[in-house]
Each structure stands twice: as C-alpha cells, then as structure tokens.
C-alpha cells in the first residue's frame, strides 16, 4: 500500500468516506428495523461502493476487498435474493467495523492489514444468490432491479440486460457491440483520442450504432476483466461513484460528471436508457445523422434497440426512474468527447474531477477548512469588541448622527456574528447518528430489549460542541442502557412492557441547547446511592442523612463512584460520570439529574450554543477587571458583614436559608497590599453543581458578551484562569474558571 | 589550514546581522531584528494571578492577548520604576508572541558574525543561559540574547513544577 498518491485525493477520500461510514452505521441499524426498505438497501450498497471506489483509486486493496464483499451482499439483498437475518446483520456490522478500523488506519497513515479471511469468506458466501439463470430474464423485463448471477461483474451485468432486452437475438452479437461501444465511450471520456481510430472495428465508434464488425473485436474486448472495468469506471468517476443513480437519483453522492459511465455501472439500468446515454455521450451532434440510417434497417436486431431509444429517450428516463438530475449531466458529458484533443488521460481525469461537484448536484456547497472558519470567527469577535468600544464611546459623546451610525454598526455586526456562527453550526444528528448502533450492540450483548428514540436531531449547535459532546453522550446513553433499563423479564414482572425505551432529545432553549437522555428503567434509589457513597468514603453518614434526593443523585458524578458491584466492559469503573461532568463543565454546561425509583431516570445537559462567545459578568477587584462566566452566576446580593458567620474557620453567609461559604476574591487574585474592606462590596453567588459559593467582589460592571482569547503558551494552565478578553473600553480582563479557581485557592484558604 | 580559516572568515564576514539594542540597568542587550515585531510604549499591564514571577501580565495588542515578561526578573536584576523610556518589545520566537519589558530601546546595529564573540562569564549563572554571545562595539559591550532560550525550556520546567 502506498500513500504517495496525491495528498489532496487522499484527504478528499478521508472526508467523504468518513461521512459515508458514519451514515452507514446509522443506516444499518435502521435497516434491521425495516429489512424490506429498498431505498435503504440501495443507499447502503452505494455507501460501500463509494468507499470501495475511493479505496481502489488509492490502491488500498485490503479496504477494497472487504467493502467489495459487503457491497456484494447488499447487492443480492436489494435484488430480493436474500433476506436479512440477524446473523447476516451481525456479519455485516462486523465487516463495517473492520472497514471503520481500516479507515482509521488510513487516517493515521498506518499500513493496512488484510481483513479476517473467514469474514471475507462469509461475505462471499452470502453474496451468492440461490437462483441464477432464469431469474435474470424475469427480473429484467419486469422492472429495473436486475438480478444478475454475479453482481460483481458489472460488465457482464449489462451484457445480460442487453440479452434480455433483445431476447431472440444472438446474445454474443449484442454483447460484443455493447462492449465495443462501451470501450469507445470510455476512450472518448478518457480523451485518449484513440477512440475513433483505435481499431478498424471501432472506427465507427463515435456513432452509437452497432459496429459492422463486432464479432471481430469481441475476442479482444472480452478480455477485459471486471476488475479492469471497475478500475476504469473508478477512474472516470474519480471517486468511484457508480452506485445507482437510477435507483435513487435524488441522493447527493452521485456527483459524477459521467452519467453514462455511471449508469453503465448500474445494473439496474435498462438497455434503452443505456443506449440513450450512449447517444448523448457520443455527441448529440452526430446523433441524428447516425440515427437516420439505423432506422432504415430496423430488421437488424441491434439497431432495433437503438431505434427504440431514439424516439423515446424520455421514456427511457422515466422507466429507470431517473429524473431531472440526469438532464444537466449529458451536456457535461457531451463536452468531453468534444475535446478529445486533451489526449492525456490524467488530464481528462482531472477535468472530470473538477467538474464532479458541479455536475448533477442541485445544491451548491463548498467545503471549508474549519480553521478558516475559526479565523473568521475570531475576526468577527474583534469586530464585536470594536463595536462594544464604539458603543461605550458613543454614550459619552452623545452625538446623534454618531449614535445612529453606531446603532447601524451594532445591527450589522450582530447579523454578521449570527451568520458566521451559523456557518459553524452542525446538526446534532452527527452525534445522535451513532447511537442506534451503540444501543443496538449493547442491547444485544446484554440481552435486553431496547428501543431508542431520537428527537430534535436537526438542532444545530457549534461544531466544536458537537465533537466535544460526543463522548459524554455516548457514556450517558451506555449508562442508561446498562444501568437503567432492566432485563425484559424483570420489566415484565414490574408490570412494564418488555421493551425498554431510551429517549435522546435535543432542543434549543434561548442561547442554550438542552439535551435530555431519558429512560424508563428502574430509576435510582437515593438511599442506596447514599449507602454506597458512605461505604466508599465519599460521604459521611450525617451528611448523607441531610442530603436531598437530587443531591444524592448527583453523587454518581463524584469521582470513584460506581453503583455496579461488578465491573463490566461497558460500565462500572466509576470513572465515567466524573469525566462526563468535568467535560460538560468545561463546555460551560451543566448536568441535572432526576430519577424516580422504578419509573426511570432523566438526565438533562445544558450547554451554550457556541463556545466562541461567552456571556460574562464583569467584576472589579482592586483596579483590575475580571469576568465570571455568567452561566455559573445564580444571584448577586449586597455584602453585609453582620449576616455572616464563621463556621469552622470559614466565613459563611445565609442565602435563601442555606449557608454558603464566602471567599474574598481580592485576597486571591490581587497582588500587593490587601486592604480589603470587609463590610463593603457585593456577593456574587455562583453555582457549581449542587454547591453554592459566594465570591465577594469590590464592584460590579455588568453583563458583557466576550470573546475568549486563550492565554499563550507561557500562561496556559495558570490555575483559575480560563482565558482573557478585551473589554469594551479596550482594557483587558481575565476570565475566571470557577472550578479550577476554587481548587487552587479555596484549599489554601482553609489551611 | 590557514586557507580554510580565511575562507571561513570570509564567508562569515558576509553575514551581517541586525540587532535591536535595549538597555536594562547598566547593560546594553541586543536581540536579532528578525525576531522583533514591534516596540510599544508602556501601557497598563494586567497581572495574571498565579502566573510565574517573571510574568508581569498580559496586554491588549490590537485585540490579541500578549504575555509580557519581566526580563529584569529573568536576568536576576532588581526591579526598576517605570519611566517615560520604558518600552515593551514584542518579539516572536517559535511562533510564540511575547512582550519583554525593558528600560529603553536604543537603536539597530549592524554586526558581522566575526564581531560576535562567545559569551564570557557575564552576569549570574542563570542569566548566562540566555546569552548567545557578546560584541565589543566602540568600547561598549553588547550582550546578544538568545530568545529561544529565554522563552523555552526553563519556563516549561518552572511552569510544570508549579
């Protein structure tokens, strides 16, 4: 295997195949529920096929082999020659895992290992339909789905189709003609220039008519192996996208500029259509002239077909269920034969590649490096800061025309900010998409019966967030399946349906995204949780007795806490929830948990829409400005020293009938002499999980949305600091990271 | 042998480097001009609580947050009051942009490589680590600072030991 191929091509492959593989996981699980869904089968088939094509182009033979196997299995399935069994599904999923593994390796530029031989063998066995021969004819004539004895050999496939179409015809003749024509077509597409005069037999090739000496060429033509053929198609497509455009024309992947080749590769194509496409490819200019003589001799079988095609190209399209998507394609393809002068094959290839995204795709999209988006976001951030400064200047200047201009700027920057944020948004489907598979596998291995409901998949959130949320969510869902849902028998005994339900939903709530993971399992027992916490030394008995249920539920987020007495490979090590919580806190998010014993558990995760802009509360300590993440601030009260008490050396204050510890932030964060007036200032009450802490600050400035600027390498990791930002007056403010701040300083204070 | 040396000297002579000189206490230091981005007047530096001692804080450089380090502390010199001449030199090294606070910035000098001697034992042990070489110019000693060293290894050690 070599990676010396063009890096760009490899990157393209990685991006595209990555997306396809993600989709595949989802589609496969969906397929298990709807085994008869033809569209789905086709989609999966195409998915494997596309990956295979790309891999073939990059000569990743190991990957090609396994994709090929899987593809074949789906090919027989979509032709109705094999039905989906759980065993088959397992094999397919196994194969998919192998593909994903290999894909990861390609990503890491590691050499591939050949897939398990037995797996490949099984796939091959599964891809053999039971009844070859007869079936083919029947199927072809009825409908598009062509059953072919060997789905791999696409070339043969349409030979057969040709056969079936012109049943009485001497099969060989047509076959040869087809191949011949096809060769010519390929040649033209490749722009080798040799097409017209490649050989005597091919001389009339530009015309769609069957050549006068097909038999002569047949020997040579038939030598082409299906592999070769595939390779050619792949090359033509650049990315090997000759899935079934005919079957599902609306799908975006067929971005192929060479529809003829594509449809040619498609087994389901009717010969009529094929001919029509050939015509188009061969140049419509030549079409009429050639067509005329053909019609003169309708007796000749091969021409009959052509004749058929001519008068009803529309029908051909209709029968194959090929809509408008094809329409722009011929034009493209046409242009290619017109420039056979571009003899060099690679040149032609490249051209096609470039054309690819523009051809039949109705949508116009551009792939942009996320780093560029980040840059733009950064610049917009600057703009927002400048605007903020102008606003504060405008207030002091009090000039009407100026304030008008500033108001305008305000609106425009706001819109721009929104628009740029929007470009970074991705539907949460990207994360949700992997859950059907996760839940299915888990349920199978745990022998539970579980349905997964997904809701609000289209909810958009920041790309970084989507990525950052993936792991915690997987963890929580696994937990729901493993700990939450009971065994089917237990459920029945408890009077619940055998089938457990896990619901995953996402929705937008103002500037937050709310993610809910709900199960109808056994729920959590607060007393049991407390007992465990006590036995693990997380909690003492008195504290446990005072604890509310919600606080008890939150114990599961404590480090080293696990309710499972046995450690499985799924969960039970007691590290997970702790990590989940930390991760979500890092995203300025919160986790809430609620549970009813015997009824189920509900976990709510709230995260901000974006990580780039942070709403903060600006505070003043001494002469310096600091920013507290607003999400954590629950209330602000006036400092009143008379209302404070010292408990165990720690200053506390009663807020809403709860004693919360008070800390003077100035003592922690201001260098030099500390002459803090203890009876002045404000108390900012911040919420950390279920705990509340009061920070005493000298003054409050107000709420401000800031762009987080990371501290540079020298200062990164400074405890308590999340970053810095430029304030509206051009000054600089440090953004505090409350959990790490407390970790760093609060202990010291207690000492 | 002697030819070789001459040749070498000839080649090295061709390399003329420019150095930005600044004063710190009684000494003149030089930094390679290619590493200097700009020189700023002193502006308010926001201290960062919990940062190492020689980090004075951060400043707003046209929307970017830049860390300013105190070369005095770094070189083991006593702290000095901020004056009108105090400057922040913004330097770039290893893709890190950092500001260094200096007493004043003097000029840009051209030095041939042959004019640069290896560092004698100047300054304290610690500061010697950051010295690339010295040059005697008009009877005055110019100390050439190796910024990469100034901003690397030791910082990391120190940061990780915090």
Nearest chain A residue (CA) to B69: A714
Mean pLDDT to the nearest integer, B95-109: 86
The whole-number pLDDT of residue B111 equals 83
Q: Which two tokens stand for residue A236?
A: 């033509």
A199 with A340, same domain: the answer is: yes
Residue A341 has pLDDT above 70, yes or no: no
Residue A90 pLDDT grade (very low, low, confident, very high; cuts 50, 70, 90): confident
pLDDT at A1: 46
CA distance from start to end of chain A: 61
A255-269, A501-515, A554-568, A717-731: least confident range: A255-269
Q: CA A574 to CA A445: how far, in whole Å?
A: 21
Q: What is the pTM of this model?
A: 0.50
User: CATH no. for residue A122?
Assistant: 1.20.120.160
User: In this structure, are A286 and A404 located in the same domain?
Assistant: no
Chain-centre distance of CA B26, in angstroms? 15
Rounded CA-CA distance A52/A70 in Å is: 10
Please give the average per-residue pLDDT across A506-511, as a whole number.
82
pLDDT at A544 over 60: yes
Model confidence band, residue A351 (pLDDT cutoffs 50, 70, 90): very low
Question: Which distant-in-sequence residues (6+ apart) come within 8 Å of B88 by Cβ?
Answer: B39, B40, B41, B42, B43, B59, B68, B99, B100, B101, B102
Q: Give the mean pLDDT of chain B.
A: 76
Of B58, B69, B96, Cβ closest to residue A724? B58
Residue B34 has phi, psi (to 5 degrees) of -70, -20
Query: Mean pLDDT, to the nearest integer, of A370-381?
Result: 77
Residue A141 lies in a domain: no
What is d(CA A469, CA A605) in angstroms, rounded to the nearest whole number? 10
A678: tokens are: 């203890």
CATH number (domain holding residue A407)? 1.10.287
Best of B50, B59, B69, B159 to substitute, by most chain A Cβ atoms within 10 angstroms, is B50
* A139 belongs to a structural domain: no
Residue A140 maps to a domain:
no
Using CA atoms, how far apart are residues A614 and B147, in angstroms rounded to an integer? 35
Both A235 and A381 in a single domain? no
What band does A118 get if pLDDT is binned at 50, 70 and 90?
Answer: confident
Span B114-147, pLDDT tens digits: 777 776 665 555 555 677 788 887 778 888 887 7
Range of the domain at A558: 428-608
The answer to whether residues A456 and A562 belong to one domain is yes
Extended beta strands in A365-469, E state = 425-427, 450-455, 460-462
Indicate yes or no: CB of A718 within 8 angstroms of CB of B51: yes
Q: DSSP state, A390?
A: H
Under the phi-then-psi rule, with left for phi > 0, alpha for psi from -120 to 50, and beta for the rest, what region is B52? beta
Are A47 and A17 in contact by the 8 Å Cβ rule? The answer is: no
- Of the candidates A670, A713, A717, which has its C-beta nearest B96's C-beta? A713
Determine, for residues A726 and B60 on separate chains, whether the beta-carbon distance falls below 8 Å: yes
Question: In chain A, which residues have their Cβ closer than 8 Å to the Cβ of B60?
Answer: 726, 730-732
- Residue B5 makes CB contacts below 8 A (sequence gap 6+) with none
Query: A561 and A536 in contact (C-beta within 8 Å)?
Result: yes
User: Would you say residue B25 has pLDDT above 60?
Assistant: yes
Name chain A contacts of B71, Cβ cutoff 8 Å.
none
DSSP string, A628-646: EEGGGEEEEEE--GGGEEE
| Any domain includes A147 | no
Q: Which of B151, B148, B145, B149 is nearest to B19 (CA)?
A: B145
B79 — contact with chain A (CB < 8 Å)? no
| Band of residue A444 on the pLDDT scale cut at 50, 70, 90 | confident
Dist CA A211 CA A66 (whole Å):
39
Which pLDDT score is estimated for A618? 92
Distances, alpha carbon A87 to alpha carbons A41, A116, A249, A443, in Å: 17, 17, 31, 15
Q: Is pLDDT larger for residue A320 or for residue A479?
A: A479
Q: Can you tell me the distance from the alpha carbon of A231 to that of A240, in angstroms, rounded to the nearest whole number?
A: 8
Of residues A594 and A578, more confidently modeled: A594
In a domain, A530, yes or no: yes
Q: Is residue A143 part of a domain?
A: no
Q: Supply the Cα-derived Rg of chain A in whole angstroms.
A: 33
Same domain, A450 and A410: no
Instruction: Please check whether residue A742 is in contact with residue A657, taking contact to mean a CB–CB distance below 8 angstroms.
Output: no
Domain termination residue (choose one: A338, A362, A386): A362
- A47-62 per-residue burial string, b: 16 or more CB within 10 A, e: under 16: bbbbbbbbbbbbebeb
User: Does A744 contact B at CB distance below 8 Å?
Assistant: yes
Complex confidence, ipTM: 0.76
* Residue A716 in domain: yes
**Residue A131 three-state SS:** coil
Distance from CA of B99 to the nearest CA of A (A): 11
DSSP state letter for A211? P
Judge whether residue A197 has pLDDT over 50. no
Instruction: Indicate whether A3 and A104 sit together in one domain.
Output: yes
Which of A139-148, A167-176, A505-514, A556-565: highest mean pLDDT?
A: A505-514
Start-end of H helices in A282-369: 287-296, 301-309, 313-319, 328-338, 345-355
Looking at A340, A362, A384, the residue that finishes a domain is A362
Give the best-scoring range by mean pLDDT among A243-247, A504-508, A524-528: A504-508
Kindly state the percentage of chain B with pLDDT values over 70: 76
| Closest approach of A406 to chain B, Cα-based (Å) | 20
CA neighbor of A237 nearest in space, from A50, A47, A362 = A50
B9 in contact with A, Cβ within 8 Å: no
Residues A602 and A624 in one domain: no
d(CA A620, CA A622): 6
What are B92's two structure tokens? 């770039």
| Domains of chain B from N-terminus onward | 2-161 (2.40.50.180)
Q: Which of B44, B63, B67 sits opposite A715 (nearest CB)?
A: B67
Strands A650-655 and A658-664 come out as: antiparallel
* Integer CA distances (angstroms), A418 to A140, A370, A506, A615, B50, in order: 53, 17, 21, 15, 36
Q: Are residues A449 and A535 in the same domain?
A: yes
Task: Report the CATH number at residue A739.
Answer: 2.40.50.180
Q: Residue A717: is its pLDDT beyond 80?
A: no
Size of chain B, expressed as the number of residues it contains? 162
At residue A370, the pLDDT reads 74
Tens digit of each residue's pLDDT (9 = 90 or more) over A41-63: 888 888 888 888 777 777 777 78
Identity of the residue in A671, A712, A731 whose CB atom sits nearest the CB atom of B67: A712
With beta carbons under 8 A apart, name residues in chain B contacting A709. Answer: 64-65
The pLDDT value recorded for residue A130 is 52
- To test the contact with chain A by mutation, choose from B64, B65, B157 the residue with the greatest count of A C-beta atoms within 10 A, namely B65
Q: Tell me if residue A453 falls in helix, strand or coil.
A: strand
Give yes or no for A726 touching B (CB within 8 A): yes
Beta strand spans in A403-553 (E): 425-427, 450-455, 460-462, 500-509, 512-519
CB-CB under 8 Å, B66 with A721? no
The mean pLDDT of B102-120, rounded to a whole number, is 81
> Do A404 and A438 belong together in one domain?
no
- Out of A710, A720, A725, name the one closest to residue B50 (CB): A720
Residue A145 belongs to a domain: no
Query: What is the spatial distance between Cα A525 and Cα A599, in angstroms, rounded to a whole number?
Result: 11
Do A663 and A677 fall into the same domain? Answer: yes
CA distance A62 to A66: 7
Same domain, A37 and A78: yes
Minimal Cβ distance to B65: which of A713, A730, A732:
A732
DSSP character string of B92-156: EETTEEEEEEESEEEEEEEEEGGGEEPP-S-S-HHHHTTEEEEEEETTEEEEEE-HHHHTSTHHH
Same-domain status, A526 and A447:
yes
Give the mutation candidate from B37, B63, B90 for the A interface (greatest A CB count, under 10 A): B63
How many folded domains does chain A comprise?
A: 5
Greatest CA span in chain B, whole angstroms? 59
The DSSP output letter for A325 is G
Q: Does A717 touch chain B (CB under 8 A)?
A: yes
Cα-trace Rg, chain B: 17
């Amino acid at each position: 295997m070599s990676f010396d191929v063009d890096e760009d091509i490899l990157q393209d492959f990685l991006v595209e195949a990555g997306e396809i593989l993600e989709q595949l996981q989802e589609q496969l699980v969906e397929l298990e529920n709807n085994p008869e869904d033809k569209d789905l089968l086709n989609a999966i088939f195409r998915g494997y096929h596309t990956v295979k094509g790309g891999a073939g182009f990059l000569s990743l033979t190991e990957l090609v082999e396994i994709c090929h196997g899987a593809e074949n299995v789906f090919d027989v399935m979509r032709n109705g020659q094999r039905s989906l069994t759980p065993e088959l599904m397992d094999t397919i999923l196994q194969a998919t895992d192998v593909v994903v593994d290999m894909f990861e390796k390609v990503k890491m530029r590691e050499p591939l290992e050949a897939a398990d031989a037995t797996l490949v063998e099984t796939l091959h066995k599964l891809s053999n339909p039971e009844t070859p021969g007869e079936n083919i004819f029947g199927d072809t004539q009825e409908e598009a789905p062509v059953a072919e004895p060997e789905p791999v050999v696409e070339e043969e496939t349409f030979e057969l189709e040709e056969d079936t179409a012109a049943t009485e015809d001497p099969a060989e003749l047509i076959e040869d003609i087809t191949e011949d024509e096809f060769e010519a077509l390929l040649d033209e597409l490749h722009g080798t220039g040799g097409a017209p005069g490649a050989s005597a037999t091919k001389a009339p090739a530009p015309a769609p008519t069957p050549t006068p000496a097909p038999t002569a060429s047949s020997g040579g033509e038939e030598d082409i192996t299906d592999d070769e053929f595939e390779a050619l198609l792949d090359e033509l497509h650049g990315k090997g996208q000759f899935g079934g455009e005919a079957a599902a024309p609306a799908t975006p992947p067929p971005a192929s500029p060479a529809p003829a080749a594509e449809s040619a590769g498609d087994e389901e194509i009717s010969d009529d259509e094929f001919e029509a496409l050939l015509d188009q490819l061969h140049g419509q200019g030549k079409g009429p002239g050639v067509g005329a003589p053909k019609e003169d001799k309708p007796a000749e079988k091969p021409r009959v077909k052509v004749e058929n095609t001519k008068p009803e190209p529309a029908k051909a399209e209709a029968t194959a269920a090929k809509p408008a998507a094809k329409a722009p394609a011929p034009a493209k393809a046409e242009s290619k034969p017109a420039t056979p002068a571009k003899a060099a094959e690679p040149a032609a290839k490249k051209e096609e590649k470039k054309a690819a995204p523009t051809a039949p795709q109705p949508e116009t999209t551009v792939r942009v490096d996320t780093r560029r988006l980040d840059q733009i976001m950064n610049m917009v951030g600057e703009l927002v800061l400048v605007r903020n400064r102008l606003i504060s200047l405008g207030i002091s200047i009090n000039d009407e025309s100026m304030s008008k201009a500033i108001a305008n700027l305000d609106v425009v920057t706001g819109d721009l900010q929104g628009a740029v944020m929007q470009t970074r948004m991705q539907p949460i489907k990207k994360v949700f998409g992997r859950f059907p598979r996760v839940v299915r596998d888990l349920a199978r291995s745990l022998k539970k019966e579980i349905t997964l409901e997904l809701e609000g998949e289209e909810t958009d959130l920041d790309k970084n967030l989507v990525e950052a949320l993936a792991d915690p969510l997987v963890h929580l869902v696994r937990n729901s399946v493993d700990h939450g849902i009971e065994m089917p028998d237990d459920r029945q005994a408890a009077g619940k349906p055998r089938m457990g339900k896990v619901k995953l939903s996402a929705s937008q709530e103002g500037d937050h995204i709310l993610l809910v993971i709900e199960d109808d399992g056994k729920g959590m027992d607060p007393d049991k949780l407390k007992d465990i916490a006590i036995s693990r030394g997380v909690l003492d008995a008195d504290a446990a007795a005072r604890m509310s249920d919600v606080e008890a539920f939150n114990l599961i987020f404590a480090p080293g806490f696990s309710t499972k007495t046995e450690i499985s490979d799924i969960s039970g090590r007691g590290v997970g929830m702790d990590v989940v919580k930390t991760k979500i806190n890092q995203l300025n998010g919160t986790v809430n948990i609620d549970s009813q014993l015997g009824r189920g558990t509900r976990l709510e995760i709230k995260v901000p829409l974006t990580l780039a802009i942070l709403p903060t509360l600006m505070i003043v300590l001494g002469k310096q400005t600091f920013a507290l993440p607003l999400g954590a601030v629950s209330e602000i009260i006036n400092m009143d020293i008379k209302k404070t008490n010292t408990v165990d050396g720690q200053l506390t204050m009663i807020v809403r009938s709860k004693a919360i510890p008070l800390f003077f932030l100035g003592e922690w964060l201001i260098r030099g002499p500390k002459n803090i007036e203890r009876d002045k200032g404000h108390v900012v009450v911040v919420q950390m999980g279920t705990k509340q802490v009061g920070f005493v600050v000298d003054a409050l400035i107000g709420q401000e949305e800031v762009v987080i600027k990371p501290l540079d390498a020298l200062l990164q990791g400074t405890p308590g600091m999340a970053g810095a930002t430029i304030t509206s007056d051009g000054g600089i403010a440090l953004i505090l990271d409350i959990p790490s701040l407390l970790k760093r300083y609060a202990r010291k204070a207690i000492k | 042998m002697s030819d070789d040396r001459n040749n070498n000297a000839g080649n090295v002579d061709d390399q003329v480097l420019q150095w930005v000189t600044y004063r710190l206490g009684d000494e003149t230091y030089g930094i390679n001009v290619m590493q200097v981005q700009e020189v700023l007047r002193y502006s308010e530096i926001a201290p960062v609580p919990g940062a190492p001692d020689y980090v004075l804080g951060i400043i707003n450089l046209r929307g970017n947050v830049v860390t300013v380090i105190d070369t005095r502390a770094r070189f083991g010199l006593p702290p000095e009051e901020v004056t009108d001449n105090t400057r922040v030199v913004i330097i770039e090294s290893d893709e890190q942009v950092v500001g260094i606070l200096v007493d004043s910035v003097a000029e840009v000098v051209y030095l041939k490589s042959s004019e640069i001697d290896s560092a004698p034992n100047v300054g304290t042990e610690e500061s010697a680590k950051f010295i690339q070489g010295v040059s005697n110019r008009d009877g005055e000693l110019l100390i050439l600072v190796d910024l990469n060293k100034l901003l690397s290894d030791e910082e990391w050690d120190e940061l990780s030991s915090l």
